[in-house]
Chain A
Amino acid sequence: MRALTWHGKHDVRMETVPDPKIVNPRDAIIRITSTAICGSDLHLYDSYIPSMHRGDILGHEFMGEVVETGSGSNLKKGERVVVPFVIACGQCFFCGKQQFSACDNSNPADKTDLSEIAYGYAMSGLFGYSHMTGGYAGGQAEYVRVPYSDVGPLVIPDGLEDDKVLFLSDILPTGWMAAENCEIEPGDTVAVWGCGPVGLFAVQSAFLLEPTG
């Protein structure tokens, strides 16, 4: 398949790489139909994030069609899914509290040494975001392997185009959480500084929370 790979500071390339395969029972393979570039991809592009390896496949905002499933996945071939960028097992203490970004299990054991030493506790696994967060291949590619595919992916009903739902993978929830954390109540006046994509989603989310009563 073709995929966007990282090779160093300001050096990313479209390359032909092997297709992903099912590795564990709960995996699924997704054929990517839409993917976005995140502001945090620029941190990789600018080489601010340690533990990137040459050839790593980038991308953590993506969606697509299920083309293959492991025996433990509850997805079905042909379903359209948006995949959240955090990989979560759904069964550890943190996942039980819906604190998926603190998942205890999704980061492979041999990848957790760095974050355990640097932060005192291992980080969860993320797609396409350095080996500190698992070294998982990302979704700026034709296909991606999604571990624990019975937990993260959101199945999209027919009739909703990719552009309407793609941003559920990361950036819309980021803007939503900013608005939610403000505990906006009817009648509040809301100002948003910095109207990039996250800021714009924060604005939209604030409207949904009805500050004008």
Chain B
Amino acid sequence: MSSSPVERARQSDAPLTAAVAQRDVSKEAAEERGWHEAAVVGRTVTINRTRAELYAFWRDFRNLPRFMENVERVDVGDDRRSHWVISAPAGRTVEWDSVITEDEPDSVIAWESVEGADVRNAGRIEFRDAPPGRGTYVTATIVYDPPAGDIGKLIAKLFQKEPKIQARRELRRFKQLMETGEIPVAFKEDDSAVRGSFS
């Protein structure tokens, strides 16, 4: 991101005042973790379900592949550890172990990859009451260390192409699944495989 506040305001939705006062969250996230560099994606969606329902579904990480496009599977080790398998182009996979770093029932779940991850990353999902009758505000923040080299190029395809769009789509699928029990697809017979749903 450009260091000039004017340029930042021009490139984003933020008014100039906000751009001037803007913290460099990527830099902060990197420093916090002792990483060279970090990329941050944040997104909030309102879901017409209670905090408890949404928290419970997310807390079982095995559910995540149902709405996360690139996540092939998550194996749950114990209460805090999980192993993530991400499908990459050309039949390859990217994997890491993750540990839960924050867990507040019905409110917050945060996790972070441990040593040896193909891609260092951390995530945080927060559930807050929306106004009466509106359900829950769900805010997801994903931080990752953009990797270098060959594997980096592969990962870039998955994470860096349009991470904002990716986050928007995945939270939208989460909302669709939680509100309607299924994930809509406009299916044509020659389209690729259809994703899972409740049945």
Task: Assess whether B197 is in contact with A24, with CB atoms less than 8 Å apart.
Answer: yes
How many residues of chain A have a CB within 8 Å of chain B?
A: 40
Min CB distance A141 to B, Å, is 12
Task: Assess whether B189 is in contact with A24, with CB atoms less than 8 Å apart.
Answer: no
Q: Is B4 an interface residue (CB 8 A)?
A: no
Min CB distance B136 to A, Å, is 12
Q: Is B157 an interface residue (CB 8 A)?
A: no
Q: How far is the CA of A102 from the CA of B168 in the complex (A)?
A: 18
Q: Is A169 an interface residue (CB 8 A)?
A: no
Q: Is A84 an interface residue (CB 8 A)?
A: no
- One of B133, B180, B186, B189 near A26 (C-beta < 8 A): B180
1/0 per residue, CB under 8 A from B, across A88-128: the answer is 01111100100000001111111111001000001001000
Known: A72-B199, A105-B184. A21 touches B189 (CB 8 A): yes
Pick from B15-23, B101-109, B138-146, B170-178 the stretch touching chain A.
B170-178
Q: How far is the CA of A87 from the CA of B182 in the complex (A)?
A: 14
Where chain A touches its partner, the secondary structure class is loop
Within 8 A of B (CB), among A138-195: 145, 147-148
Task: Assess whether B184 is in contact with A92, with CB atoms less than 8 Å apart.
Answer: no
Q: For A105, A116, A136, which residue has the most chain B Cβ atoms within 10 angstroms?
A: A105
With a cutoff of 8 Å between Cβ atoms, the chain A residues found around residue B197 in the complex are: 24-25
21 contacting pairs across A/B (C-beta < 8 A): A17-B189, A18-B188, A18-B189, A24-B183, A24-B184, A25-B197, A26-B182, A89-B184, A91-B179, A91-B180, A92-B179, A96-B48, A105-B179, A105-B180, A108-B185, A109-B173, A109-B183, A116-B168, A122-B172, A125-B184, A137-B188
Give residues in B with beta carbon < 8 Å to A. Answer: 46, 48, 133-135, 165, 168-170, 172-173, 175-176, 179-190, 194, 197-199
Q: Which 3 A-B pairs have the closest CB atoms?
A: A18-B189, A135-B186, A109-B169
Beyond A24-B182, A89-B176, 18 additional contacts (C-beta under 8 Å) are A17-B189, A24-B184, A25-B197, A25-B199, A26-B181, A72-B199, A89-B179, A93-B46, A96-B48, A104-B175, A107-B184, A109-B170, A109-B176, A110-B169, A112-B168, A116-B168, A125-B186, A137-B186
